[in-house]
Amino acid sequence: MMKKRNKQVTAALAGLVFSATMIVAGPALADDVDRAKSDAGLGLATVVANIFYIPVKVAYAIVGGVTGGLAYAMTAGNQQVAERVWVSSVGGDYVLTGDMVAGEQKIQFSGTTDPDL
């Protein structure tokens, strides 16, 4: 009989501690859950965006690399002309980040020759 009563008291205390914890920490936990859901959604959106973005960017870089080489040959070795094509096509971002997908960071598809950017 005493063991049963001890178990009941222990269960009641555990329930009381759990309830008090949820009252105090519940709102913070809810914020963490909402943030985790948001982060998971952004992560999924980033992966899906990269599935399309990366192949397009790589194809653009390859075509730009070949075009820059042709520009170099067609201008009798004018490296400035070729570099303008190469920098704009081969430079830039190859992978999107979560900040880029969320609109918090600019996506640079093309490279730039402007040193201030």
Using pLDDT thresholds of 50, 70 and 90, give the confidence band for residue 10: confident
Tens digit of pLDDT for each residue in 42-67?
889 899 999 999 999 999 999 999 99
Q: DSSP assignment of the chain, as one string? A: -HHHHHHHHHHHHHHHHHHHHHHHHHHHHHHHHHHHHHHHHHHHHHHHHHHHHHHHHHHHHHHHHHHHHHHHHHTTS-HHHHHHHHHHHH-S-SS--HHHHTTSS---SS--S-TT-
Tens digit of pLDDT for each residue in 18-32?
666 666 666 665 566
The set of residues, in sequence order, having a beta carbon less than 8 Å from that of 70 and lying 6+ positions away, is: none
